Amino acid sequence: MVSSSLFSAALFSALAAAQKCNLQFDGRLPKDLVAADLDVTNDFFDPNNVLGKGLKVSQVSRILPAGAGGLFDEGVEAQPVEVLISDASIFNDQVGFRRSELLPASNDGSDPSTQGVKTVHFSVKKDNVRLLNLTHEYQLFFLESQDFSTNQVVLKTGTILGQNTPDPDTLQLFGNVNDNPPQLLFSTKFLPDTFNNFALTLDFDKLTTQVFFSTGLDPLKQVTDVLKNDVSGQGQFHFGVLKKGLNGVGDITKNGEQEAGINEGIAYGGIFEEDSADGCISLSP
């Protein structure tokens, strides 16, 4: 691989799309993997978190066929994975939430995935037979700080608690939720029948976030400038479905109404993180 520092900025941006960057973690599932492989220690995701009490990863995920993947799955024949929630998806007595999330295996809260400059990639797709209930707020991706005091970046959909949501069928990416109000970094209609591809360049030294987005197999496009956003505090990346209850007061992890009979899911593809310290960002495979 040729170092990007050899090139001028203009030339670099032209080449960025074709560049292979060094990977920090890779959650793309090889085509021979089965869901039960995720129940034991593996190279991809933590087998123990975040799950409803007594549940295994294989009980809250469906491996989807290779070839049905997103932008960064096709070339490596990766299998996307759907993350599911049900009435049993109660983690740690958080009865106000239903949640199932995949955490990268190497991301222990203080590892290099939240140091330097990194670009985290993921793609999300609706399941038309396990649709979310957009009366509720959902978190589909977030970075939670090591001390659990904030989410430095979070992708939400549905009706956001405590604010006006003109169209709940929207993907809304917020910055640090301790800001008042949190900064809306980017939003876009949550298109069905296709993967919605995100890449976020997180500068953990300069405390900024830049967003790239596309749908289907289209190359990512820059959709924001480099935005000030406090991404300090390290922590863990969560990919999955966290459904918040309605009318909760006080500690909403414990309070909030959840109707019974939940059968909902979101498909994930192309989960990986690359090192962008030298400006390397993959806009296409």
User: Taking CB positions, which residue lies at the least distance from ligand NAG?
Assistant: 133
Q: Does 133 bind ligand NAG (CB under 6 A)?
A: yes
**148, 204, 123, 137: which is closest to 174 by C-alpha?**
137
d(C-alpha 178, C-alpha 235), whole Å:
15
d(C-alpha 24, C-alpha 269), whole Å:
17
Q: Does 263 bind ligand NAG (CB under 6 A)?
A: no
Residue 267 CB, nearest approach to ligand NAG (Å): 20
Shorter beta-carbon distance to ligand NAG: residue 87 or 259: 259
What is the contact mask toward ligand NAG in residues 143 to 172, using x (rule: CB under 6 A)? Answer: ------------------------------
Sign, CA torsion 121/138/176/100:
negative
Residue 164 CB, nearest approach to ligand NAG (Å): 18
Residue 137 CB, nearest approach to ligand NAG (Å): 11
Residue 258 CB, nearest approach to ligand NAG (Å): 7
Please give the backbone phi and psi of residue 114, each rounded to the nearest 5 degrees, phi first: -120, 35
d(C-alpha 192, C-alpha 215), whole Å:
10
Q: Give the chain's radius of gyration (CA, Å).
A: 18
Q: How many residues bind ligand NAG (CB under 6 A)?
A: 4
Q: How far is CA 282 from CA 126, 133, 226, 228, in A?
A: 24, 33, 16, 22
Residue 154 CB, nearest approach to ligand NAG (Å): 21
Among 87, 179, 259, 278, binds ligand NAG (CB under 6 A): 259
- Six-digit token pair at 10? 């203009």
Q: Does 246 bind ligand NAG (CB under 6 A)?
A: yes
Q: How far is CA 84 from CA 14, 150, 283, in A?
A: 39, 24, 28
Sign, CA torsion 267/119/283/106:
negative
Shorter beta-carbon distance to ligand NAG: residue 122 or 138: 138
What is the contact mask toward ligand NAG in residues 60 to 99, using x (rule: CB under 6 A)? Answer: ----------------------------------------
Task: Summarize as ranges the residues that interact with ligand NAG (CB under 6 A).
Answer: 133, 135, 246, 259
